[in-house]
Chain A
Amino acid sequence: MATRLQFENNCEVGVFSKLTNAYCLVAIGGSENFYSAFESELADVIPIVKTSLGGTRIIGRLCAGNKNGLLVPHTTTDQELQHLRNSLPDQVVVQRIEERLSALGNCIACNDHVALAHTDLDKETEEIIADVLGVEVFRQTIAGNILVGSYCALSNRGGIVHPHTSVEDLDELSTLLQVPLVAGTVNRGSEVIGAGMTVNDWTAFCGSDTTATELSVIDSIFKLREAQPSSIVDEMRKSLIDTYV
């Protein structure tokens, strides 16, 4: 089920947090509201780590990761790196990469199996991504934008892309990523989906401006509603009843 929240009155949740199946990173805010919201959803399941990257709070856009690893830019300080290594589970490899395009969150969109990369990314970086994250890397554009990380939100079960993506592009991406994709918006018509929301296999967090329609689209494409156990029983019951006499 998707949750609506705000970071210090800003609806761009994907900028200040990073959610994967194995861990969750949140930025350090003045009040604890943001952190509490994540905690209430994910407390016992995965670790929630408060951090900064390179002294900034825009951690969602600077790092890219999945359950296998986490890539941080060269601007990350040693203390932050060590803090991350300490807090995250052991199977998650934290790697700092030297890359000219340091906003890795904007340049890379990934789930646990496949990643889309910025077309101008270094060859080395691509190899590191494939290695650390354990994914297949595809250089792609979304609706003509090269910042793939900003304009799509990806999980293992589905993805949302920029609303102006054409039907052919959508088919192509869907084939590459092997997940169903939909062109949609978040935060009341905002096209920057990667910055507006963050998602993993069973939950999603969106900005509070997100309308109910957008929320329903998110729920359906990421299959978040089906994560509830009760819905499965209902479906079974429908098939059991034949006729009333």
Chain B
Amino acid sequence: MMSALMDQDSSGMFKVQQTIGSVVCCKCGVPMPPNAANMCVNCLRSEFDITEGLQKSIQIFYCPECGCYLQPPKTWIKAQWESRDLLSFCIKRLKNLNKVRLKNAEFVWTEPHSKRIKVKLTVQAEVLNGAVLEQSYPVEYTVRDNLCESCSRFQANPDQWVASVQLRQHVSHRRSFFYLEQLILRHDAASRAVRIKQVHQGIDFFFGNKSHADSFVEFLSKVVPIEYRQDKQLVSHDVKSSLYNYKYTYSVKICPICREDLICLPSKVSSSLGNLGPLVVCTKVSDRITLLDPRTLRCAFLDASQYWRSGFRSALTSRQLVKYSVFYVEPPVGEATVGGQKYALSYVLIARESDIGKMLTVQTHLGHILKTGDQALGYDIYGANVNDDEMDEYRLHGRLPEAILIKKCYDKERERKKGKPRAFTTKKLPMEMDESRGGRGVDPGKMENEYEEFLRDLEENPELRFNISLYKNKNYQESDETASMTDGEGAPTVPIEELLAELELSEEGEGDGEDDMDE
């Protein structure tokens, strides 16, 4: 009989199999396996209440505006109804919970408008010589509505801002602001702005917090060359605790030199940059200005502080670009790669569109892309009326070229695409228009044209698109485009791979997403 119960364990000794017997509970007499207290669970529960002394009801404060719960003394924690954050917050609010061990916590359903939250807690504690008893009990939270500080301040005065950034660029076009807008959207730099307002020659950003404005200005300094100053204005003053409330204003100036501008450098600057030819073209503006001398293909970089030391302005801006027809391009005399861009120096025979009879031979840095029969845009220096002393001096000495070509013109190719929607769309910042200033307000027609030019700019220059998010246009059909693309060179477009699909937050979309995850 015994051998059937014996088995050999690893050390070679016979070990008898032990079956736990059953005893009767000493209180109620129900048979049960023996435990440390020798009482069945129900008798133990009836005898020892481990939830004694634990908080069973408590009051919590909730801000209905922003959906936050108050953790005294001052922190407001954002949590959704019946979320994990809310659960951990509720448990944290209970005192004395360290006396017992918390095993499980879950919400019990309550009507949302009942202003009660019920949490069922399962706790374990030791009773009576080593027996561990587990017990569940509900805790009821009474939710009281109480606006948090920031919401009450906002309620009192919704236009309240603490810091504002006044961004200005004193040029006649808004191209820089379009580009900046896309950059800001991409990097989400203005997500914390309370208000954004568009004004003449600039944009105003309003923030609720000085640090938000600070970080925004820092972001700007990284993407465009700026100069700024900071001022503050006293709003209120608590005498007893010496607390001062200020309104901070950052006055930010973007450097007025833009891409494709023609600049006549003052002699001091020119010599400091190593005798860079007096006429330079600005090719790229990021946190530094890139100046290219079209005659020598030499480049110079000026960062914000260097620029503002001299503060020169451009002689001719993109408004003054005129069309030239290219008749003959000579093979390039020299080539250079500057800042990732290839340039080739060559002589071309051109004539102004409006004055075809007059042929000019000029030197250009666009030898790598111009071909006979192309159209190009450039500055007519011979005929331009520029208010620039330096330039006049040079003109006197006859050292100025007659024209400088800036970029190739794709108008003919664009004729084909006229009226058809683009392959991409862009997003916009939620800006308020400045209607209040009467005649000096922005003209919507002019804005449209400028925006159209900006989009064309994006198409032509891949390096501009680098930091920008472009989204697929749902209305765009591919078929027509590809047919026309086969014959010769078409206008440059944004390749499809670079476009992002827009995020669609609809009910069906989410459902599909869930299915995918299950698979």
User: Could you list which residues of chain A lie within 8 angstroms of chain B, going by C-beta atoms?
Assistant: 163-170, 172, 183-185, 188-191, 211, 213-214, 216-217
Min CB distance, B495 to chain A, in Å? 78
Given A168, A183, A191, A214, which contacts B17 in the complex, CB threshold below 8 Å?
A168
Instruction: Decide: B18 and A213 in contact? CB cutoff 8 A.
Output: no
CA distance in complex: A169, B34 (Å):
15
Instruction: Decide: B27 and A185 in contact? CB cutoff 8 A.
Output: no
25 A-B Cβ contacts within 8 A? A163-B23, A163-B34, A163-B38, A164-B20, A166-B18, A166-B19, A166-B21, A170-B21, A183-B34, A184-B23, A184-B24, A189-B26, A189-B38, A189-B39, A191-B38, A211-B26, A211-B27, A213-B24, A213-B25, A213-B26, A213-B29, A214-B24, A214-B26, A216-B29, A217-B24
- Of chain B, the residue at the smallest CB distance from A182 is B23
- Of chain A, the residue at the smallest CB distance from B131 is A189
Instruction: Decide: B27 and A168 in contact? CB cutoff 8 A.
Output: no
Pick the most buried of B22, B26, B38: most chain A CB atoms within 10 A of its CB: B26
- Of chain B, the residue at the smallest CB distance from A187 is B26
List B contacts of A165 (CB < 8 A).
Answer: 21
Instruction: Decide: A213 and B27 in contact? CB cutoff 8 A.
Output: yes
Min CB distance, B202 to chain A, in Å? 84
Asked if B384 is at the interface (CB within 8 A of a chain A CB), the reply is no
- Of chain A, the residue at the smallest CB distance from B22 is A183
Given B2, B5, B23, B25, which contacts A183 in the complex, CB threshold below 8 Å?
B23
Min CB distance, B26 to chain A, in Å? 5
Instruction: Decide: B27 and A183 in contact? CB cutoff 8 A.
Output: no
List B contacts of A166 (CB < 8 A).
Answer: 18-21
Given A167, A213, A217, which contacts B19 in the complex, CB threshold below 8 Å?
A167
Asked if B409 is at the interface (CB within 8 A of a chain A CB), the reply is no
Instruction: Decide: B23 and A185 in contact? CB cutoff 8 A.
Output: yes
Given B16, B17, B26, which contacts A188 in the complex, CB threshold below 8 Å?
B26
CA distance in complex: A133, B513 (Å):
85
List B contacts of A216 (CB < 8 A).
Answer: 29
List A contacts of B20 (CB < 8 A).
Answer: 164, 166-167
CA distance in complex: A216, B37 (Å):
19
List B contacts of A167 (CB < 8 A).
Answer: 19-21
- Of chain B, the residue at the smallest CB distance from A143 is B34
Instruction: Decide: A164 and B34 in contact? CB cutoff 8 A.
Output: yes
Given contacts A188-B26, A211-B26, A213-B27, contact A183 B37 (CB under 8 A): no
- Of chain A, the residue at the smallest CB distance from B19 is A167
Given contacts A163-B34, A164-B34, contact A169 B18 (CB under 8 A): yes
List B contacts of A170 (CB < 8 A).
Answer: 21
B residues 1-59 touching A (CB-CB < 8 Å): 2, 5, 16-29, 34, 37-39
Min CB distance, B41 to chain A, in Å? 13
List B contacts of A214 (CB < 8 A).
Answer: 24, 26
Known: A189-B38, A214-B26. 7 other contacts (CB 8 A): A163-B38, A167-B19, A168-B16, A168-B17, A183-B21, A184-B24, A216-B29
| Main DSSP-derived SS at the B contact region | loop
List A contacts of B26 (CB < 8 A).
Answer: 185, 188-189, 211, 213-214
Pick the most buried of A166, A189, A216: most chain B CB atoms within 10 A of its CB: A189
List A contacts of B27 (CB < 8 A).
Answer: 188, 211, 213
CA distance in complex: A214, B23 (Å):
10
Given A183, A190, A213, which contacts B28 in the complex, CB threshold below 8 Å?
A213
List B contacts of A189 (CB < 8 A).
Answer: 26, 37-39, 128
CA distance in complex: A224, B22 (Å):
22
CA distance in complex: A165, B28 (Å):
21
Pick the most buried of B18, B22, B27, B38: most chain A CB atoms within 10 A of its CB: B38
Given contacts A211-B27, A216-B29, contact A185 B38 (CB under 8 A): yes
CA distance in complex: A163, B39 (Å):
11
List A contacts of B18 (CB < 8 A).
Answer: 166, 168-169
CA distance in complex: A183, B25 (Å):
11
Instruction: Decide: B19 and A168 in contact? CB cutoff 8 A.
Output: yes
CA distance in complex: A184, B38 (Å):
9
Instruction: Decide: B25 and A168 in contact? CB cutoff 8 A.
Output: no
Min CB distance, B391 to chain A, in Å? 106
Min CB distance, B409 to chain A, in Å? 98
Min CB distance, B253 to chain A, in Å? 86
Using an 8 Å CB-CB cutoff, how does the interface string of B127-153 with A read, 1 for contact, 0 for none? 010000000000000000000000000
List A contacts of B37 (CB < 8 A).
Answer: 189
CA distance in complex: A166, B18 (Å):
6
CA distance in complex: A89, B507 (Å):
97
Using an 8 Å CB-CB cutoff, how does the interface string of B196-207 with A read, 1 for contact, 0 for none? 000000000000
CA distance in complex: A163, B34 (Å):
6
CA distance in complex: A217, B37 (Å):
17
List B contacts of A188 (CB < 8 A).
Answer: 26-27
Min CB distance, B284 to chain A, in Å? 85
List B contacts of A183 (CB < 8 A).
Answer: 21-23, 34
Pick the most buried of B18, B21, B25, B27: most chain A CB atoms within 10 A of its CB: B21
- Of chain B, the residue at the smallest CB distance from A213 is B29
Min CB distance, B259 to chain A, in Å? 88
CA distance in complex: A168, B28 (Å):
26
List B contacts of A164 (CB < 8 A).
Answer: 20, 34
List A contacts of B16 (CB < 8 A).
Answer: 168
B residues 336-363 touching A (CB-CB < 8 Å): none
List A contacts of B17 (CB < 8 A).
Answer: 168
List A contacts of B128 (CB < 8 A).
Answer: 189
CA distance in complex: A148, B341 (Å):
97
List A contacts of B2 (CB < 8 A).
Answer: 172
List A contacts of B29 (CB < 8 A).
Answer: 213, 216
List B contacts of A191 (CB < 8 A).
Answer: 38
- Of chain B, the residue at the smallest CB distance from A162 is B34
Min CB distance, A13 to chain B, in Å? 16
CA distance in complex: A3, B22 (Å):
25
CA distance in complex: A165, B21 (Å):
7
Min CB distance, A5 to chain B, in Å? 18
Given contacts A183-B21, A185-B26, A213-B29, contact A168 B5 (CB under 8 A): yes
- Of chain A, the residue at the smallest CB distance from B25 is A213
CA distance in complex: A165, B38 (Å):
13
List B contacts of A184 (CB < 8 A).
Answer: 23-24
Shortest 5 CB-CB contacts between residues of A and residues of B: A189-B38, A213-B29, A163-B34, A166-B18, A167-B19
CA distance in complex: A217, B18 (Å):
24
List B contacts of A211 (CB < 8 A).
Answer: 26-27
CA distance in complex: A127, B337 (Å):
112
